[in-house]
A and B are shown apart, each in its own frame.
Chain A
């Protein structure tokens, strides 16, 4: 490797390495403060104890089946989101009057704290996975509808004119021109929807003490297993981050090169 190339590589890797070093340094400092009695270990367990309890939480708390349950709920909400959200967006794009009448309502719904309806959903659907899936679905629906409308409305005029010049029927125009052109934007909506769904699903699992990963945190906290609680929280964050990264990769793969 030539000297300038080495210099460029160093410049690229130095900031993330520094960030990681600061994070590790922070955990070492917390460990020292706990061991030195400055921080109360009954409030903040030592990081070494948290790392040590990872194995125990994974094996004893059946974390894989819990993960699969949360993932299943998330995917069920995702399928419903895609079907109803995209269909709603297409319907509103097709009937302009409906779009003009309802788009503001959908946007307002996006800023409403829908997850707070979970006690209502518990009354309707019971303390079950259905409540969790329905909350995830309803709370994440607005971005999918809005992005579908945005994608369809943003189709380039030239593409629509090409379709017209080929005398395509309304259905052919939709499936061969509008929908493929809008697909990348629709996927942005689905990605946002899935993120909202995951947040709400894990949150409601924690709140109603039912289901997968969210319930695990509540369970461990109620048992006052502090190290286990911290480890479970770290695990949920890790799963969420991996979920977002995967969605981002799929989105990049779907988006045509600019």
Chain B
């Protein structure tokens, strides 16, 4: 019997690491090695580019110190409060503007243009109004996160399917029932997106305010490391902060199911 075109060799096994992963590893290794060589070369001022060993030590010291977690809790509390106040007020104003065309045309352009202005410049006013303690940091974080949440909520409100609103009205739902059972579930994705943006800017606003004037919080620790020129500690703090910020941003997006939105 003639031999049919059967496979005589086993299919080649898939490589353990994909080319993308290999390239990522190569980039990371190149950066780490390049950094270490630059650190030992003496071309730059000592400590501007500290060795990875020094940064690793500083990272270990940071993550095992109670003082760091106390300051992290202070900053997290301020950001949480800012997000709660700014997020809720932004959502309320956004729903109001999204539901009413007249109010939207009257006020939304103020929000649209004020939204991307630099908020940190309001810090002197916040100090006057709320003092030098956590109040002024929370206020600045609130101001920062109010705008993206309000604009997202207003846009989300306008894109709700009219049929769903009519269904709610035909059931004679009260205003609160409409908000809880129709509007908020239908605009979940834009609101989560707004909260994600709001969280990012609240974090920046609060931490920048802490670097300007405070005696506790992560921003204070960063500026303290700068003033005593403890560069490994500053790098360690920035690394932890970036990991936390990017992680929190991804977590909010994932919790809200943003990755499931069809594009």
Contacts and interface: CB of A to CB of B under 8 A. Distances in A.
A199 B245 contact: no
B85 to A, nearest CB: 20
A100 B225 CA distance: 36
Given A122-B226, A206-B123, A240-B118, A18 B106 contact: yes
Interface of B: 19-20, 23-24, 27, 48, 102-107, 109-110, 113-114, 116-118, 120-125, 128-129, 200, 203-204, 207-208, 211-212, 219, 222-223, 225-226, 229, 231, 234-235, 238, 241-242, 245-246, 249-250
Nearest to B117: A240
A124 interface: yes
Contacts, number: 129
A235 to B, nearest CB: 10
A207 B208 contact: yes
A111 B200 contact: yes
Contacts of B125: 229-230, 233
A15 B102 contact: yes
B207 to A, nearest CB: 6
Interface of A: 14-16, 18-19, 22-23, 43-44, 97-98, 100-102, 108, 111-113, 115-120, 122-124, 195, 198-200, 202-203, 206-207, 214, 217-218, 221, 226, 229-230, 233, 236-237, 240-241, 244-245
The majority secondary structure among interface residues of chain B is helix
A60 to B, nearest CB: 18
Contact of A116 (B110, B113, B238): B238
Given A97-B19, A113-B203, A120 B117 contact: no
Given A101-B23, A112-B242, A112-B246, A236 B207 contact: no
The majority secondary structure among interface residues of chain A is helix
Q: Which 9 A-B pairs have the closest CB atoms?
A: A15-B105, A221-B124, A19-B106, A119-B226, A111-B249, A15-B106, A101-B23, A202-B118, A203-B120
Contacts of A23: 110
Contacts of A115: 204, 208
Contacts of A18: 102, 106
